[in-house]
């Protein structure tokens, strides 16, 4: 399993091949469509991320300090962002999730595009996953 930094580098390389915003979004949406489906029974209120206007669900499990999660969104653009987070952080040690800075969004300029809109909340999603990582580490202690 490659580490978060390595995946960030790969994602960044993939996106650098895309020439314009339309293509970047197209790629992002495809990633969302390719993400493993979330079980419908996990799409419940307790898994909703607060602070997103479109609905975003994360069901995070912690197993021996490794974070495993399913996620979904009713917005396909947001689902693409969710899929990126899934690619980056699923099956990773909680310690790494907590400590690694996710620079790839900044690099791609997607922060500027998406997270600044209050209707989204990439920030809220990342914060949600980091909080889950804290819980996961606490359990391990």
Binding positions for other proteins, rule: CB under 8 A: 20-22, 24-26, 29, 33, 53-54, 74-78, 113-114, 117, 119-120
Q: Which is nearer to other proteins, 5 or 123 (CB)?
A: 123
Give the shortest CB-52-to-other proteins separation in angstroms. Answer: 10
Q: Which of 52, 62, 63, 136 is catalytic?
A: 52
Radius of gyration of the chain (CA): 14
d(CA 137, CA 131): 10
Token couple for 115: 């997270």
Name which of 77 and 127 has its Cβ closer to other proteins.
77
Would you call 52 a catalytic residue per the annotation?
yes
Decide whether 20 or 41 has the Cβ nearer to other proteins: 20
> For residue 78, which of 33, 112, 45 has the smallest C-alpha distance?
33
From the centroid of its chain, how far is CA 73? 11
State the minimum distance, in angstroms, from the CB of residue 131 to other proteins: 24
Q: Name beta bridge partners: 57.
A: 48, 72
Q: Tell me the closest approach of the beta carbon of residue 129 to other proteins, in angstroms.
A: 21
Q: Compute the least distance from the CB of residue 50 to other proteins, in Å.
A: 17
**3-state SS assignment for residue 62:** strand
Pick 20 or 101: Cβ nearer other proteins: 20
Strand partners, 72: 57
End-to-end Cα spacing for the chain: 24
Catalytic residue numbers, as ranges? 52
């Amino acid at each position: 399993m490659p580490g978060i930094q390595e995946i960030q580098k790969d994602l960044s390389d993939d996106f650098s091949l895309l020439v314009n915003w339309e293509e970047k979004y197209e790629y992002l949406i495809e990633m969302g469509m390719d993400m493993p489906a979330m079980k419908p029974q996990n799409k419940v209120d307790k898994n909703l991320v607060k602070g997103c206007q479109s609905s975003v669900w994360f069901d995070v499990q912690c197993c021996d300090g490794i974070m495993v999660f399913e996620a979904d969104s009713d917005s396909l653009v947001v689902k693409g962002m969710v899929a990126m987070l899934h690619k980056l952080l699923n099956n990773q040690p909680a310690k790494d999730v907590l400590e690694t800075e996710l620079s790839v969004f900044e690099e791609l300029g997607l922060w500027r595009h998406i997270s600044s809109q209050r209707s989204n909340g990439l920030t809220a999603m990342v914060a949600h996953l980091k909080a889950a990582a804290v819980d996961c580490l606490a359990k391990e202690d």
